[in-house]
Structure formats: structure tokens, C-alpha cells
């Protein structure tokens, strides 16, 4: 058996499948530092070009999970289910979906990520609430899931540490866009949460990490395959990310929109995806027998105020200022709030999610590089949606900025992003497909 790094790299370089031991040696080498970064990077590039079989991908996922600990949620009696999104622009769904599901009788142990590039991150949105602590130790996280049925934190050093190392190397070596590596990275972290089931929101389109629908489907199927191999039910929704979700992009702005969702005042597109994901979560958790009943339960949680109250409880438990939940106008506000007016009358033909995301990133709402500082107040609000009618002078969006030069740059991107024409544009179907364990 070849277990030296150069032998393992050579095998994959030559297009051969790796054994479980070889994959374990690679992941161990990433975790304990016994492989040099150039050896890890060389193997990542070989995997990028040569791919992995489903079995190799499952082993890589298992080794990633076993590089750290698995959250011990055995004391939590409720079924434990989570949702993961591959990321988009204006995707604030985790913030309100987690408490919505928790009040329906499933526990949601949610470990989320930060923004990178033009896409936002749940942790940055949560931190727009003053004092909100996303860095709970694992034991406190597990205890909160037991007590409240939901906790929202970032990855801890104990969970899937190999992924932290490998993801940073992939980011630096142009090996992110590789389905087996993405699968092991996402599923390695999610399965380390100690969940019973997982629902994935795999986005495609201009603002998505995977713009092409066929590739997004391939990724969704590969993720479900791992679930099947480890006997955990996993479902995936393919959703469009051509235009931003909702009418806001930026951390405090999206937090306010998410609170509006919990009050029953959320934008139609955000709620359509929220309910569809929530239905699948409740079905997989076994707390609703049909999608229609799941939707009823989710809607009842909003109508009764229970979901909003649960979110408030989470904010208090994690050290946040709950007054910002009661009155979102207390959330951070930018110094400059400038509308972009339509120069002509007509219909919205497109709102390019990528360009809106880049505009928000330029304002400081997300990071162009890991380590960049975030400004919670900045972003874009009042975004028009594809198909809407506008008159000359109408507001197409409002830019929230703390710097005049950055505001001017964002304006250029937003004027390009929002196209007005003589006929209404047609938004792509938001939910393209729900892929279940038995779809293939």
C-alpha cells in the first residue's frame, strides 16, 4: 500500500482511484501538518483534474468528519435537521428558517459560514445584531440546541478541522470548483453537526457559486449520494439565483428583511423558497406527514408569533441586543442612503445578482478576501424585481454607504445590473426541482 504523499499524488495524477487508507492519510496529513502545503495542493490539483469516484468522495467526506469531533446531540430528543445553501446574493433564509422549523418540533443545530466574494454569509448577518456571539464553544452550542431547539454558530476548531486547512489551500490554488472536493467540504462539516437529516439549497444562475444548472444538478446529486452512503436522508432543491433574493443585500438590511419574514411581512420570493425548504426539513424530520401539513405548521408559527419569539430567544441566549429584533430600525444604519432613479419608464428586464453582489461587496457588505473587515450597515435596499413596471424617476434601489467614493462605484455597478426595457423581463422559475434520495 502506497502511503507516502508523493506516491498518493502520483496515483491520482495518473488517474487511478485512491484507497480508503490513502485518502485517510491525505486528510490526516492536512490535519496534523505532516504533509507540506505543496503536497496537499498537488493532490488537490490532481483530484481537480482526475476527479473521484462516488466511493472515494464518501471516504474523503468520512475522513473530513473524523478529522475532528462530531457534535454530541444525543441528549436532544427531537429529530435534528439542518439546511445548507451553496450561497447567493440576498440569501438570508437561514436566519428566519431555523426558528420557524424549531417551533414545529424539530431541532436545528445550524453551523454557518461567512461571506466571501459577492455572496453573503449568515454569520455576518447575525453579527449585525449588537453583541450576537456566533463563536459559542461546541458544548454550549449542544446545550442550547437541547434547551431552545436551535443554535446558530460558526465552525469551531473542533469540527472538521481538515476542511479549514484544505479549503484555504483550494481558495489559493484555484481548486474550489471541483465537485468531489465541494461535496466532502460541505458534507464533512454538516455531518459533523450531529444531524439526522439535511436539506440543501443548491443555487444556479448569475449570482450563484455554480452558475450552470446542469453542474448544479450534478453537485446536488453527488451530495445526496453521500447522504445515501452514510444513511442520512438528504434532499436538495435547485433554486434560481439570477436576481437577488428579496429586496435587500447587505447584513443589517437583510437582517431587517428576515425579521419582516418572521412577522409575516416577507417578500414573496424569499417566502416561496423559505416554505419549500422548511417543508422538506419537516418531512425529513418526520414532524409533518405531507408537504401541505408542513407548510401549515410553518405558517402557523409565523401567524402566532412563535417563530419570531424563538428567534428573539436565540438572540438573547447568544448575547445579542434583542431590542434590535423588536425594533429593526435600531440595527446599524449607514450615513448615506441614496436612491438610484430610473432614467426611463418601462419594465424591469433584469437585476443581475452577480453585479448587485459585487456592488454590495465594494461597499463593504462582504469580503473580497478572507480577513477583510465587514461594514454591517452598508448594502442595497428597495431593489426592484424582474417584471415590475417603473416610471421615469422611480427608485430602482437605494444604496446604503459610509463612504462617498465607494457609493459612486456601487452606483456604476447597479446601473449596469438593473436593465429597463419596453417589455417585462421574465424571471426564471425560482424552484427548478426538488431532488430526493429516490429521484435518480
Q: What residues are labeled active site? A: 84, 163, 170, 185, 189
Minimum distance of ligand URA from residue 181's CB (angstroms):
6
Choose the stretch contacting ligand URA; rule: CB under 6 A; options: 48-56, 174-182, 300-308, 417-425.
Answer: 174-182
**Phi, psi dihedral angles at 317 (to 5 degrees):** -60, -30
DSSP E strand boundaries for 92-233: 108-112, 150-154, 197-204
List strands edge to edge, sheet with 81-85.
81-85, 197-204, 234-240, 431-435
Contact by Cβ (8 Å): 159, 192 = yes
For residue 425, the number of C-alpha atoms closer than 13 Å in the C-beta half-sphere is 20
Per-residue binding string, ligand URA, 144-173, x by CB under 6 A, is -----------------------x------
Piece of the chain touching ligand URA by CB under 6 A; list 180-188, 280-288, 370-378, 380-388: 180-188
Stretch touching ligand URA by CB under 6 A, among 66-74, 178-186, 306-314, 375-383: 178-186
Q: What is the contact mask toward ligand URA in residues 108 to 137, using x (rule: CB under 6 A)?
A: ------------------------------
Site for ligand URA in 200-229 (CB under 6 A): none
Q: Which is nearer to ligand URA, 35 or 167 (CB)?
A: 167
Give the C-alpha distances (Å, rounded to integers) separating 136 from 73, 130, 143, 156, 203.
Answer: 15, 16, 10, 8, 29
Query: What single DSSP character describes residue 249?
Result: B
Provide the angle, in degrees to the nearest 10, between the axes of the packed helices 161-172 and 20-32.
Answer: 90
**Shortest approach of ligand URA to residue 414 CB, angstroms?**
26
Q: At what angle do helices 404-417 and 353-363 cross, to 10 degrees?
A: 180
The CB-nearest residue to ligand URA is 185
Whole-angstrom distance, CA of residue 343 vs CA of residue 416 = 12
CB closer to ligand URA out of 93 and 407: 93
Record the cell numbers describing residue 95, joined without a space.
436566519
Least distance between ligand URA and beta carbon 252 (Å): 24
Segment interacting with ligand URA, rule: CB under 6 A, options 8-16, 36-44, 175-183, 248-256: 175-183
Stretch that binds ligand URA, among 176-184, 196-204, 235-243, 426-434 (CB under 6 A): 176-184
Task: Please name which of 313, 283, 265, 322 lies closest in space to residue 129, comparing C-alpha atoms.
Answer: 322
Q: Check if the beta carbon of residue 424 is closer than 8 Å to that of residue 205.
A: no
Element (H, E) at 123: helix 122-126
Q: Which of 186, 192, 259, 430 binds ligand URA (CB under 6 A)?
A: 186
Q: Which is nearer to ligand URA, 17 or 176 (CB)?
A: 176
Q: Kindly state whether residue 185 participates in binding ligand URA, applying the rule CB under 6 A.
A: yes
* Nearer Cβ to ligand URA (176/306): 176
With contacts defined by CB under 6 A, how many residues of the chain interact with ligand URA? 6
| Bridge partners, 80 (sequence order) | 107
Catalog residues that contact ligand URA under the rule CB under 6 A: 167, 176, 181-182, 185-186
Amino acid at each position: 500500500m502506497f502511503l507516502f504523499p508523493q506516491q498518493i499524488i502520483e496515483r491520482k495524477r495518473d488517474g487511478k482511484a485512491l484507497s480508503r487508507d490513502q485518502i485517510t492519510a491525505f486528510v490526516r496529513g492536512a490535519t496534523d501538518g505532516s504533509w507540506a502545503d505543496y503536497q496537499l495542493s498537488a493532490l488537490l490539483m490532481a483530484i481537480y483534474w482526475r476527479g473521484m469516484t462516488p466511493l472515494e468522495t464518501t471516504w474523503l467526506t468520512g475522513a473530513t468528519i473524523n478529522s475532528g469531533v462530531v457534535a454530541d446531540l444525543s441528549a436532544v430528543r427531537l429529530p435534528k435537521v439542518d439546511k445548507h445553501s451553496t450561497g447567493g446574493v440576498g440569501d438570508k433564509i437561514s436566519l428566519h428558517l431555523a426558528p420557524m422549523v424549531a417551533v414545529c418540533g424539530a431541532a436545528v443545530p445550524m453551523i454557518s459560514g461567512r461571506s466571501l466574494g459577492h455572496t453573503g454569509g449568515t454569520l455576518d448577518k447575525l453579527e449585525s445584531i449588537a453583541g450576537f456571539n456566533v463563536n459559542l464553544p461546541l458544548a454550549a452550542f449542544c446545550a442550547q440546541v437541547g434547551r431552545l431547539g436551535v443554535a446558530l454558530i460558526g465552525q469551531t476548531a473542533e469540527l472538521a478541522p481538515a476542511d479549514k486547512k484544505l479549503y484555504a489551500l483550494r481558495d489559493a490554488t484555484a481548486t474550489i470548483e471541483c465537485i468531489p472536493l465541494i461535496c466532502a467540504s460541505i458534507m464533512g462539516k454538516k455531518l459533523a453537526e450531529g444531524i439526522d437529516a439535511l436539506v440543501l439549497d443548491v443555487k444556479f444562475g448569475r449570482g450563484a457559486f455554480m452558475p450552470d444548472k446542469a453542474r448544479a444538478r450534478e453537485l446536488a446529486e453527488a451530495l445526496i449520494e453521500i447522504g445515501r452512503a452514510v444513511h442520512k436522508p438528504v434532499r436538495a432543491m435547485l433554486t434560481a439565483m439570477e436576481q437577488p433574493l428579496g429586496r435587500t443585500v447587505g447584513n443589517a438590511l437583510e437582517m431587517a428583511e428576515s425579521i419582516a419574514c418572521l412577522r409575516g411581512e416577507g417578500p414573496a420570493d424569499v417566502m416561496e423558497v423559505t416554505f419549500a425548504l422548511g417543508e422538506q426539513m419537516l418531512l425529513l424530520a418526520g414532524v409533518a406527514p405531507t408537504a401541505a401539513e408542513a407548510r401549515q405548521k410553518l405558517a402557523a408559527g409565523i401567524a402566532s408569533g412563535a417563530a419570531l419569539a424563538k428567534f428573539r430567544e436565540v438572540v438573547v441566549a447568544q448575547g445579542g441586543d434583542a431590542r434590535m429584533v423588536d425594533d429593526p430600525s435600531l440595527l446599524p444604519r449607514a450615513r448615506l442612503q441614496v436612491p438610484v432613479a430610473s432614467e426611463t419608464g418601462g419594465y424591469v428586464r433584469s437585476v443581475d445578482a452577480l453585479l448587485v453582489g459585487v456592488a454590495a461587496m465594494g461597499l463593504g457588505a462582504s469580503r473580497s478576501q478572507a480577513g477583510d473587515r465587514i461594514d454591517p450597515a452598508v448594502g442595497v435596499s428597495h431593489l426592484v424585481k424582474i417584471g415590475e413596471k417603473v416610471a421615469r424617476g422611480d427608485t430602482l434601489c437605494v444604496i446604503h454607504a459610509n463612504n462617498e467614493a465607494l457609493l459612486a462605484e456601487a452606483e456604476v455597478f447597479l446601473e449596469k445590473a438593473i436593465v429597463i426595457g419596453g417589455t417585462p423581463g421574465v424571471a426564471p422559475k425560482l424552484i427548478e426541482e426538488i431532488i430526493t434520495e429516490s429521484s435518480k
